[in-house]
Amino acid sequence: MAEMNFGGVIEQVVTSKEFSLEKAREVLKNETIAVIGYGIQGPGQACNLRDNGFNVIVGQREGKTFEKAIADGWVPGETLFSIEEAAKRGTILCMLLSDAGQIAAWPKIKPHLTPGKTLYYSHGFAICWSDRTGVVPPEDVDVILVAPKGSGTSLRTMFKEGRGLNCSYAVHQDASGHAEEKTLAFGIGIGAGYLFKTTFEREAVSDLTGERGSLMGAIEGLLEAQYEVLRENGHSPSEAFNETVEELTQSLGPLFAQKGMDWMYANCSTTAQRGALDWAPRFRDAIKPVMKTLYEEVRCGNEAQRSIDSNSKPDYREGLTKELAEMRNLEMWQTGAVVRTLRPENSDQGK
């Protein structure tokens, strides 16, 4: 492991320099990795592991997603099976179904967790709130986690570009005495950028907080609020969208992603700098109480229960489709659809 100074806090991280791909292959050489679920994380992790030379099979019920797995090169009866058959054949069972899907499938998978096997997660939800999910692993199996800090699509895309997506890792149960080594090998196998240690509980709580906060919920709320204020004061849709979303994602985002927010500030006008420095504390002070409430709702399990209750409804998909359509049909995102067609790479001039 390497020690890194994160703003004065020393953390130990693992990269392929400390834990090579060759070592990862050696650690997992006798394992059959069964990726259960080929939805969000499944394709990226399964394909990256396969490309890195690991023994991988996929478990997925028949349907559209099963056909996607076939299109990605998984062969029915050879490397592609039903969920139950993959769980039976695998020595490392990767629970990459949705949280609701994991709860539903658990009674079918648990009988195949025979002594010496490993139960793998990319999200701590099912284990962290086991009193609500009913997922309690046998004591004679390893229970481990590698959580990519991004979507499965990003994991795969960055892997193909020769880059890695940062991941957290954790060991919940070490029955074999080698669970941590196995976890690190798995992280390197899926193409992690660097790995940092956590627990199942901290991963689950931080993940749900981030999704509802700055990664998705809060950012959508902020964008909608600014766009609406601009439109209510006579600004055109194009102007409101460019000042709210397009400049953020296409110009400023890459700058602070590259070298940090202070560097982005330094490369903006002095007027922008002054205003941003003055208003950032006001937004922080206004938003922090909401974030504290959000964190407590996640930590105590209320958010997990809301998710379980909502996602287990028989008409969940229909409701989700309706809610996403309502967002898509907002004037702001309808404007965005037009603006994207006008980007140089999508215009005749950019061809």
Among 225, 243, 204, 241, residue whose Cα is nearest residue 287: 225
User: Rounded distance, CA 50 to CA 28, Å?
Assistant: 13
**Residue reference for tokens 């990664």:** 215
Q: Measured between alpha carbons, how far is residue 200 from residues 52, 123, 173, 177, 334 in Å?
A: 26, 7, 10, 18, 39
The Cα 214–Cα 56 span in angstroms is: 35
Name the catalytic one among 112, 123, 172, 235: 123
- HSE, CB side, 13 Å, CA atoms: give it for residue 280: 9
Nearest residue to 113 (alpha-carbon basis) of 140, 148, 134: 140
Q: Find tokens 């996929």 and name the residue.
A: 58
Residues with Cβ within 8 Å of 193's Cβ and at least 6 positions away in sequence, in order, are: 15, 158, 163, 164, 165, 166, 167
Name the residue among 253, 256, 279 with its Cα closest to residue 266: 256
Strands ordered across the beta sheet of 142-148:
2-6, 9-14, 192-197, 165-173, 142-148, 118-121, 92-95, 33-36, 56-59, 80-81
By CB neighbour count within 10 A (0-12 exposed, 13-18 middle, 19+ buried), where does 52 fall? middle
**Active-site residue, 123 included:** yes
Catalytic residue IDs:
123
